[in-house]
């Protein structure tokens, strides 16, 4: 955006809203989490009057605990495309009840995408520098987002956490739910990303389009971001949330008729208990509590306060404490995510020509990430899909390995031309043209994940393996 961002104040209902939402509002009849991470905080919450940016219909909503004014760690939540604050408000109240400042950034008429990203950045800066400077501690900053807003967090973090503003010197994180593409971000941006950011990406397994015919965003797009970004595996996790067939009844439209719901890990699990302007309704239930409230609460505590107990839940690398969803289906966690669907099952496939609809400029700069973003063969080492796994012409034994790894070809007629081994950063560690008995010694390999690339006369395929 060019020029100065000017804001006018719109007062809703004439007063600042104040109150305490709690798990008494859960619409599945459960009690949520009563103690520990994911339990409701002790603070009442104040929702300040909305601030409206009259240059692009941008809106700022600010939630904070009902305490004396003081700088607080701040969490910025970037809405999905065209999704106002009230569709996420119970989440904002939950976070603010823990003692944090929560600011929702929303564009009513976003315009083209590159401008929308810049609008969001401008509003974040204005909130901290002009409107609420006495409330916001810019040394502890988290970025959260849903859908389009989740994708935007990567570009926003590049700017906010980078050298220009250097926010979050005492703690910085990104939590993405049901993410859309991370636009206007290059491979170099990711390779040079601030390495002290904590990253949690949450994919909903049944994230489908309106008529349930295709899945939304091709998951390989966000997987490429996850694997390229300059954040150690110990400080990032890629989580898949599953639906659960357990059912409950709730009168969603207050017409006296109970409707049956199950715990649906669709695009809208972070929407809570209200019809939004697109007509979507998502009950506020235990799936919100365990998949979003619990993990975000722990991620924030680890990032801002250094709690290792919190890390074991938020970034536990598949720990029991992390994946346990109580009576719901466990989460799936991976450092090398496997995509389980074919490209033609996605409404917006990774190979699409992602040009801005108004400027016709390329905004999905990693659109070749499904193959090889820099033409050096490395990105092809991202874990294969289930369909590709079935087509493999070889298997590895033992898994996990320790002293050696043995290659077993499915056809006696197949001849190996070359074997290469890479680490998770894409660095080539080993090359062999004539392996003896198809066995590779692993004495010099430390514990971790590696990728074996096998080239034969008939195929070139890659398989991850674990050294214990």
- In the listed set 334, 353, 369, which residue is the last one of a domain according to the structure? 334
Answer whether residue 54 is part of any domain.
yes
Q: Are residues 400 and 328 in the same domain?
A: no
Return the structure tokens found at 132.
Answer: 């609420």
Report DSSP letters for 73-103, one per residue. EEEEEEPPTT--GGGTHHHHHHHHHTT-EEE
| pLDDT per residue as tens digits for the range 332-387 | 998 777 676 777 788 887 777 677 767 777 788 876 666 644 443 333 434 444 44
pLDDT at 15: 52
Tell me which residue of 79, 39, 56, 64 sits closest to 2, measured CA to CA: 56
The pLDDT score that the predictor gives to residue 388 is 45
Beta bridge partners of 419: 432, 454
Is residue 324 in a domain?
Answer: yes
Q: What is the pLDDT of residue 54?
A: 63
DSSP class of residue 14 equals: T
Higher pLDDT: 214 or 373? It is 214
Count CA atoms within 13 Å of residue 463 on its CB side.
24
224 and 328 in a single domain? The answer is yes
- Give the bridge partners for 466, in sequence order: 449
pLDDT digits (tens, 9 = 90+) for 269-280: 877 655 545 556
Identify whether 258 is part of a domain: yes
Q: Which segments of 108-225 are extended strands (E)?
A: 136-146, 172-177, 198-204, 215-217
Tell me which of 300, 319, 334 is where a domain ends: 334
Position 352 in a domain: no
Q: How many structural domains is the chain composed of?
A: 2
- Say if residue 449 is exposed, middle or buried (CB neighbours under 10 Å; 0-12, 13-18, 19+): middle
Rounded Cα–Cα distance for residues 113 and 349 (Å): 18
285 shares its domain with 406: no
Residue 346 lies in a domain: no
Cβ contact 431:455 at 8 Å: no
Per-residue model confidence (pLDDT) at position 342: 72
Specify the DSSP class assigned to residue 34: -
Strand partners, 200: 175, 237
Looking at the fold, whether 103 and 169 belong to one and the same domain comes out as yes
Whether 55 shows a pLDDT value over 70: the answer reads no
Strand partners, 66: none
By residue range, what is the domain housing residue 320?
A: 7-334
Contact 201, 337 (CB under 8 A): no
* The predicted structure's pLDDT at residue 137: 98
197 and 278 fall within a common domain: yes
Clarify whether residues 312 and 399 are in a common domain: no
A 10 A CB-CB count for 444 gives 7
Residue 463: Cβ within 10 Å count: 21
User: Which CATH number covers residue 450?
Assistant: 2.60.40.1930
- Domain for residue 300, yes or no? yes
Task: Record the tokens describing residue 455, joined without a space.
Answer: 């080239």
Q: Confirm whether 27 is domain-assigned.
A: yes
Q: Report CA Rg, the chain.
A: 23
Residue 10 confidence (pLDDT) above 60:
no
In a domain, 348, yes or no: no
Overall average pLDDT of the 403-415 stretch: 79
Q: Are 449 and 336 in contact (CB under 8 A)?
A: yes
Residue finishing a domain among 314, 334, 354: 334
pLDDT surpassing 60 at residue 5: no
Q: Which residue has the tokens 């067939």?
A: 245
User: In the predicted model, what is the mean pLDDT of the chain?
Assistant: 84
User: Do 397 and 323 share a domain, yes or no?
Assistant: no
Both 430 and 304 in a single domain? Answer: no
Give the least confident one: 18-32, 141-155, 183-197: 18-32
Q: 260-269, 274-283, 314-323, 390-399: which range is least confident on average? A: 274-283
Residue 169 is predicted with a pLDDT of 97
- pLDDT of 159 strictly over 90: yes
Confidence of residue 412 (pLDDT cuts 50, 70, 90): low
Same domain, 322 and 443: no
pLDDT in tens, 90-99: 999 999 999 9
| pLDDT top residue among 422 and 174 | 174
Q: What is the pLDDT of residue 272?
A: 63
Residues 330, 396 share a domain: no
Q: Do 315 and 409 belong to one domain?
A: no
Q: Measured between alpha carbons, how far is 430 from 465 in angstroms, rounded to an integer?
A: 14
Domain containing residue 151: CATH number: 3.40.50.1820
Residue with tokens 């609809």: 357
119 and 204 co-located in one domain: yes
């Amino acid at each position: 955006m060019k020029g100065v961002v000017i804001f006018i104040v719109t007062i809703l209902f004439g007063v600042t809203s104040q109150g305490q939402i709690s798990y008494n509002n859960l619409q599945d009849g459960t009690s949520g989490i009563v103690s520990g991470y994911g339990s409701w905080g002790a603070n009442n919450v104040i929702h300040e009057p909305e601030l409206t940016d009259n240059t692009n219909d941008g809106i700022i909503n600010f939630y904070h605990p009902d305490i004396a004014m003081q700088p607080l760690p701040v969490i910025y939540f970037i809405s999905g495309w065209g999704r106002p604050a009230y569709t996420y408000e119970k989440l904002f109240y939950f976070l603010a009840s823990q003692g944090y400042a929560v600011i929702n950034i929303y564009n009513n008429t976003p315009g083209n995408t590159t401008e929308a990203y810049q609008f969001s950045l401008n509003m974040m800066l204005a909130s901290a520098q002009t409107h609420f400077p006495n409330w916001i501690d810019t040394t502890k900053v988290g970025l959260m987002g849903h859908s389009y807003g989740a994708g935007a967090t990567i570009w926003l973090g590049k700017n906010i956490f980078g050298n220009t503003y250097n926010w979050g010197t005492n703690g910085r994180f990104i939590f993405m739910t049901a993410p859309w593409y991370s636009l206007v971000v290059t491979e170099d941006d990711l390779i040079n990303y601030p390495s002290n950011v904590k990253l949690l990406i949450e994919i909903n397994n049944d994230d489908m389009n309106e008529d349930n015919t295709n899945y939304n965003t091709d998951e390989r797009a966000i997987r490429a971001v996850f694997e390229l970004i300059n954040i150690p595996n110990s400080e990032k996790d890629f989580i898949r949330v599953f639906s659960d067939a357990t059912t409950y009844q709730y009168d969603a439209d207050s017409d006296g008729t109970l409707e049956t719901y199950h715990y649906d890990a669709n695009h809208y699990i972070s929407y809570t208990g209200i019809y939004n302007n697109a007509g979507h309704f998502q009950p506020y239930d235990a799936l919100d509590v365990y998949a979003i409230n619990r993990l975000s609460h722990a991620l924030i505590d680890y990032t801002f306060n250094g709690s290792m107990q919190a890390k074991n839940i938020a970034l536990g690398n598949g720990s029991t404490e992390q994946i346990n969803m109580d009576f719901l289906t466990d989460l799936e966690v991976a450092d090398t995510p496997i995509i389980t669907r074919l490209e033609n099952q996605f409404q917006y496939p990774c190979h699409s020509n992602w040009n801005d609809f108004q400027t016709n400029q390329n905004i999905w700069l990693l659109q070749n990430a499904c193959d090889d973003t820099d033409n050096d063969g490395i990105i092809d080492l991202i874990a294969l899909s289930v369909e590709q796994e079935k087509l493999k012409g070889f298997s590895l034994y033992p898994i996990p390995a320790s002293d050696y790894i043995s290659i077993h070809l499915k056809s006696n007629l197949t001849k190996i031309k070359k074997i290469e081994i890479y680490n998770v950063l894409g660095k080539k560690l080993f090359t062999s043209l004539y392996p003896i008995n198809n066995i590779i010694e692993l004495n010099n390999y430390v514990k971790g994940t590696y990728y074996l690339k096998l080239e034969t006369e008939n195929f070139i395929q890659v398989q991850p393996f674990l050294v214990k």
